[in-house]
Amino acid sequence: MLLNSIQRQKLDGGNDREFYNTPRFVTHVDEGFIDRLTTLYRERLQPNTRIFDMMSSWVSHLPSELKFEFIQGHGLNEKELAKNPRFDKYFVQNLNQDLKLPLADASFDAVLNTVSVQYLQYPEAIFAEVYRVLKPNGLAIFSFSNRMFYNKAIAAWRDGSETDRVELVKSYFNSVSGFSTPETIVQVSQVPELLRWMGAGGGDPFYAVIAQKNG
């Protein structure tokens, strides 16, 4: 196993479904992060393909001009998922309790995960599921910043530096035989720390780890 039991622990060990029971119709990163993510999707995703947006919410940050064949949503709050205008279908599931996705093998061209990977307690199993549901040559994009619900992030994430977290997500991909060598995108904020504390935009760093299912 990639992580030991201590690394998987959360400060709040309660049921995740209860923690996310109240909808949060907010964005958890700033506009600079969102713009960078949407640009990445514009560059890497193909129109008229099938997308699985996992651990998502009421907004997916997909380019408005890109039309897809089918978008499957997943998350922990049904009201948030129901409000997402891009979803053709969605389901609610706690991936820390039920590690098997109710999706067919090789059924998606891309799997997306935005600012949520830090909450996975069994990433080896979930990344294996991501691999399973991707089509050959399908793309997985995991993006994150330095924000989190601290009491719900696993210890391996909380205790690491931002560079450590990039390496951690790379190791999740590498734990599954059949993914390509992970590619990383790092965009550290150029906004001075004082201005970030005052709420200036562009303060959130942007990280993405990307891999393909080998054909």
Q: How confident is residue 188, by pLDDT bands cut at 50, 70 and 90?
A: confident
pLDDT digits (tens, 9 = 90+) for 15-64: 777 767 766 645 667 888 899 999 999 999 999 999 999 999 999 999 99
Among 74-88, 110-124, 182-196, the minimum mean pLDDT is found in 182-196
Query: CA–CA distance from 39 to each of 116, 142, 169, 185, 204 (Å)?
Result: 19, 14, 21, 12, 16
Across 78-107, average pLDDT: 97
- Pairwise CA distance, residues 192 & 30, whole Å: 15
Q: How confident is residue 104, by pLDDT bands cut at 50, 70 and 90?
A: very high
Look up the pTM and report it.
0.90
Among 4-18, 78-92, 119-133, the minimum mean pLDDT is found in 4-18
CA 171, chain centre distance (Å): 15
- When computed from its CA atoms, the radius of gyration of the chain, rounded to whole angstroms, is 16
β pairing state of 108-114 and 89-92: unpaired
Residue 66 CB contacts under 8 Å (≥ 6 apart), including other chains: 41, 42, 45, 47
Q: What's the confidence (pLDDT) of residue 30?
A: 83
* Interhelix angle 123-133/162-174, nearest 10 degrees: 60
Residue 92, pLDDT above cutoff 70: yes
Q: What's the confidence (pLDDT) of residue 147?
A: 79
Query: CA–CA distance from 28 to each of 11, 45, 145 (Å)?
Result: 20, 23, 9
Residue ranges with strand state E in 163-215: 183-187, 206-212
pLDDT digits (tens, 9 = 90+) for 154-174: 999 999 999 999 999 999 999
CB 118 within 8 A of CB 148: yes
Among 1-15, 70-84, 107-121, the minimum mean pLDDT is found in 1-15
Torsion of the alpha carbons at 29, 86, 122 and 95, rounded to the nearest 10: 120
Query: CA–CA distance from 33 to each of 3, 58, 213 (Å)?
Result: 28, 17, 26
Residue 140, pLDDT above cutoff 70: yes
Q: What's the confidence (pLDDT) of residue 84?
A: 97
Among 55-64, 84-93, 142-151, 190-199, the minimum mean pLDDT is found in 190-199
Give the residue, 212 or 31, on which the prediction is more confident. 212
Q: What's the confidence (pLDDT) of residue 25?
A: 45
Q: What's the confidence (pLDDT) of residue 191?
A: 62
